[in-house]
């Protein structure tokens, strides 16, 4: 288990302020946040490149706060691969083993690791001659060959094109399954979360804002920042009452969680049903409104509905065409109470 305990670190414009996280053995843990949130600094502090200004780091029970990077048994893979350009792929992968053992042993380990990443045929090439995806595979192999107790990935897919990114994403899932290594992966791309993460932490400005499973983060954000980051387009200010409903303007919305007093309500635009005909209630929230605008956007259609407050509904084209709705039409909206998540208003509320 990797425990980051109240770690602070200031490095000029980037910093960590009192960050605490714990990552389980074998977990695939993703840290998500915009540029400048302190994600890379967090990884580099875990890896031992920086010593924290305050706080402790524990790896499998051992306090490694003051252990130098080379003795931590933590692997690091950067977005830009950082393969040593003057060495072949083989020498890159074997780099960390060089001082340890006999050539035959190294050769065996390197080949094993290269095979795991499907780059066995590239061992004699130099990094400059490889594609981005191949370089990233080599960088991962170089880290894995050391059999690290934790593997840190710094936006490993960001520098790759769409196709390669998808392949390597699947590859990462496979490798995680095959090796069982604890992985901490940082990214600003929400897409990676659903395919890979067991749990996610959302960071912002050096702070961890929320931690949870992808589903939790996605459906139950704890702040406007997280809600905006995961694409919840319907954010309403309201007043919670004791009976589990929230008053938003003239509407009363049944939400999955109840907080009395001023609250924010978040409803995902994909979780709202839209119809010209009345919808069966079935315990759902039902709202009546008028279509303001219809914006086709790629394969999706974004519909804006005025129902006292402005609702945004996202449908597929196919789904939209079946509703037969046009701007100006009166429509019925329905969403489950579990689709309406309530959290205290204001920025940066802690979980």
Binding site for another protein (CB under 8 A): 44, 47-49, 68-72, 74-76, 78, 80, 82, 84-86, 95-96, 99-100, 142-143, 146
**For residues 322, 328, 329 and 331, what is the CA-based torsion angle, rounded to 10 degrees?**
90
**Minimum distance between the CB of residue 59 and another protein, rounded to whole angstroms?**
13
Q: Which is nearer to another protein, 99 or 282 (CB)?
A: 99
The helix (run of H) or strand (run of E) holding residue 47 is helix 39-47
Nearer to a second copy, 5 or 271 (CB): 271
- Taking the C-alpha atoms of residue 79 and residue 81, their distance in angstroms, rounded to an integer, is 5
* Whole-number Å distance between alpha carbons of 163 and 180: 26
How far is 221 from 228, CA to CA, in rounded Å? 9
Q: Which is nearer to a second copy, 209 or 334 (CB)?
A: 334
Which residue, 45 or 314, is less far from a second copy as judged by CB?
A: 314
- Residue 250 has what DSSP assignment? T
Among a second copy, another protein, none, what binds residue 85 when CB lies within 5 to 8 Å by partner kind?
A: another protein
Q: Which residue has the tokens 């009363």?
A: 252
Contacts with a second copy, residue ranges (CB under 8 A): 190-191, 194-195, 218, 230-231, 268-273, 295-300, 314-319
Q: Which does 47 bind (CB under 5 to 8 A by kind): a second copy, another protein, none?
A: another protein
- Measured from the CB atom, is 28 or 78 closer to another protein? 78
CB of 191 to a second copy, least distance (A): 6
Q: 194 touches which of another protein, a second copy, none (CB within 5 to 8 A by kind)?
A: a second copy
Q: Taking CB within 5 to 8 Å according to partner kind, which of a second copy, another protein, none is near residue 170? A: none
103-116 and 132-144 helices, crossing angle to 10°: 130
Reduce the DSSP state of residue 149 to 3 states and report it.
coil
Tell how strand 182-187 and strand 309-316 pair up: unpaired
82's contact among a second copy, another protein, none, with CB below 5 to 8 A by partner kind, is another protein
Say whether 147 sits in a helix, a strand or coil. coil
Distance CA 221, CA 209 (A): 10
Closest separation between CB of residue 84 and a second copy, Å? 27
CA–CA separation, 56 and 70 (whole Å):
18
Those residues whose C-beta lies under 8 Å from the C-beta of residue 143, and which sit 6 or more positions away, are 75, 76, 77, 151
| Nearest in space to 276 (alpha carbons), one of 317, 334, 335, 331 | 331
CB of 319 to a second copy, least distance (A): 6
> Which of another protein, a second copy, none sits in contact with 174, Cβ below 5 to 8 A by type?
none
| Residue closer to another protein, measured from CB, 14 or 95 | 95
Q: Shortest Cβ distance from residue 97 to another protein (Å)?
A: 8
């Amino acid at each position: 288990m990797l425990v980051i305990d109240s770690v602070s670190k200031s490095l000029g414009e980037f910093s960590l302020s009192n960050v605490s996280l714990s990552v389980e053995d074998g977990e695939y843990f993703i840290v998500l946040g915009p540029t400048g949130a302190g994600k890379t600094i967090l990884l580099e502090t875990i890896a031992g490149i920086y010593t924290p200004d305050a706080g402790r780091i524990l790896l499998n029970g051992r306090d490694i706060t003051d252990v130098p990077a080379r003795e931590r048994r933590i692997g690091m893979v950067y977005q830009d691969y950082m393969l040593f350009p003057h060495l072949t792929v083989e020498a890159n992968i074997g780099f960390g083993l060089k001082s340890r053992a006999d050539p035959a042993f190294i050769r065996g380990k390197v080949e094993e690791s290269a095979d795991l990443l499907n780059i066995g045929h590239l061992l004699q090439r130099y990094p400059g001659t490889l594609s981005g995806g191949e370089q990233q595979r080599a960088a991962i192999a170089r880290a894995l060959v050391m059999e690290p107790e934790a593997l840190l990935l710094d936006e490993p897919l960001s520098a790759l094109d769409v196709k390669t990114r998808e392949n390597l994403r699947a590859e990462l899932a496979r490798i995680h399954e095959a090796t069982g290594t604890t992985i901490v992966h940082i990214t600003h791309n929400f897409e990676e979360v659903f395919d890979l993460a067991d749990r996610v932490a959302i960071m912002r400005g050096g702070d961890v804002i929320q931690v949870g499973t992808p589903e939790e983060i996605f459906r139950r954000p704890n702040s406007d920042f997280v809600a905006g980051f995961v694409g919840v387009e319907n954010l309403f200010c309201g007043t919670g009452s004791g009976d589990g409903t929230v008053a938003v303007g003239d509407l009363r919305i049944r939400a999955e969680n109840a907080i009395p007093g001023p609250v924010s309500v978040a409803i995902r635009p994909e979780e709202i049903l839209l119809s010209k005909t009345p919808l069966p209630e079935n315990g759902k929230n039902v709202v009546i409104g008028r279509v303001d605008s219809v914006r086709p956007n790629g394969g999706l259609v974004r519909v804006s509905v005025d129902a006292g407050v402005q609702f945004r509904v996202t449908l597929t084209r196919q789904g939209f065409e079946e509703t037969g709705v046009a701007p100006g039409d009166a429509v019925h909206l329905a969403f489950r109470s579990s689709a309406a998540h309530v959290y205290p208003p204001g920025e940066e509320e802690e979980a």
